[in-house]
Amino acid sequence: MKKWTKNLLIGTGIYATYSIFATAIIRRQSFVEKRFKGKGIALTFDDGPHPIYTPQLLDLLKRYEIKATFFVVGSKVEKYPYIIKRMHEEGHTIGIHHYEHKSNWVLTPWQLTEQLERTAAAISNCTGERPTLYRPPWGHFNIAVPFTAKGYRIVLWSHIFGDWKVERAEMLYEDLQNAVEDGAVFLLHDCGKTLGAEEEAPKFMLESLASFLADCQEQNIQFVQLEGSHNG
Ligand SMILES: [Zn+2]
C-alpha cells in the first residue's frame, strides 16, 4: 500500500472516531435525554428565532396557554433580541443550539466552547438568566462534547417529523397525532433557513401544529416545558 493511501486511511479513521462513531456512542448514553418522566408532551422548536414565524408560533402557544422549549441559534438571538425577550416573558424555556448552525463534526473542542459561550451570553443578555439546556445541531456530537458541554443538560428528542421540508406538510398533522404519548419530546422547527431546510416550511408546520393543538385541547392532552435556566 502506498504511503499516502495508508495516511489517508488512518486520517479517515481518526476523523470518523472523532465524529460519526462518537455520535453513535454518545447518543446512547444516559446523560443524553430523549424523553422525560411524567405526563404529557414536551414541544421543542429548533433553529430560530425567525422574525416572522417565531412570533406567529408564540401567538399560537399563547392561545392554548402552552409553554414550550426553544433551542435557539446565538447569532439570530443577537439579531432579534426582542423575540427572545418575549419568549422569556411568556414563560418558555430557552436553550442553546450553537452560535451558528454548525455541526460538531466540523468543530474543535475550543470552537464548541466558543459556540456555547457566545450563545449563552446572547441569551442571558435578553433574559438575565443563564441557559442550562443544550441541543447540538442535527444531534451531532464529537468525542469531546461530553467534556466541553459539561454543566449543560443535553436534550435530543423522541420524535422528529421532517417538518423542515414543505413536502412533509401533508403528513405532518397525522404524524403529530400518531406520536402522542406521555414523556415524548417533539422536535419541530420555527426557522427554515438552515442548511437542508426550506424557507417556507415553518409556515406549513404552524398550520399543522394549530390543528393538532386544537385537537389536544379537546382531548385534554398536557404540554410541559423542559426546565433549563438559572439566575446569575
Ligand atoms: Zn437545528
Q: What is the largest CA-CA distance in the chain?
A: 68
Residue 186: domain span: 3-231
Residues in contact with 193: Cβ distance below 8 Å, sequence separation at least 6, in sequence order: 47, 50, 199
Distance between CA atoms of residues 228 and 120, nearest Å: 12
Nearest-Å Rg of the Cα atoms of the chain is: 18
Q: Judge whether 41 and 67 are in contact, CB under 8 Å.
A: no
Report the domain count for the chain.
Answer: 1
- From CA 115, how far away is CA 131, in angstroms rounded? 13
pLDDT (0 to 100) of residue 168? 87
What separation in Å is there between the alpha carbon of 141 and the centre of ligand 1? 13
In angstroms, rounded to a whole number, what is the distance separating the alpha carbons of residues 111 and 47? 19
DSSP letters of 11-79? HHHHHHIIIIIHHHHHTTSTTEESB-SSSSEEEEEES---TTHHHHHHHHHHHTT---EEEE-HHHHHH
Q: 197 CA to middle of ligand 1, Å?
A: 10
Cell output for 20: 460519526
Cα(220) to centroid(ligand 1), Å: 30
Answer for the pair 93, 196: CB distance below 8 angstroms, yes or no. Answer: no
Distance between Cα 3 and ligand 1 center (Å): 39
Closest of 231, 232, 225 to residue 87, by C-alpha: 225
Burial level of 192, CB count in 10 A (0-12/13-18/19+)? Answer: buried
Kindly provide the residue ranges of all beta strands, DSSP E only, lying in 142-193, ordered along the sequence: 153-155, 159-160, 184-189
Domain CATH for 184? 3.20.20.370
> What's the gap in Å between 194 CA and the centre of ligand 1?
7
Residue 229: predicted pLDDT: 58
Q: Can you tell me the distance from the alpha carbon of 132 to that of 33, in angstroms, rounded to the nearest whole number?
A: 13
Active site residues: 46, 189
Whole-number Å distance, alpha carbon 180 to ligand 1 midpoint, is 22
**pLDDT tens, position by position, for the chain (232 residues)?**
789 999 999 999 999 999 999 999 999 999 999 999 999 999 999 999 999 999 999 999 999 999 999 999 999 999 999 999 999 999 999 999 999 999 999 999 999 999 999 999 999 999 999 999 999 999 999 999 999 999 999 999 999 999 999 998 889 999 999 999 999 999 999 999 998 999 999 999 999 999 999 999 999 999 999 986 554 4
Distance 31 CA to ligand 1 centre (A): 20
Left (φ > 0), alpha (ψ -120 to 50) or beta: where does 203 sit?
Answer: alpha
Cα–ligand 1 centroid distance for 46 (angstroms): 5
Helix or strand (DSSP H, E) at 131 = strand 129-131
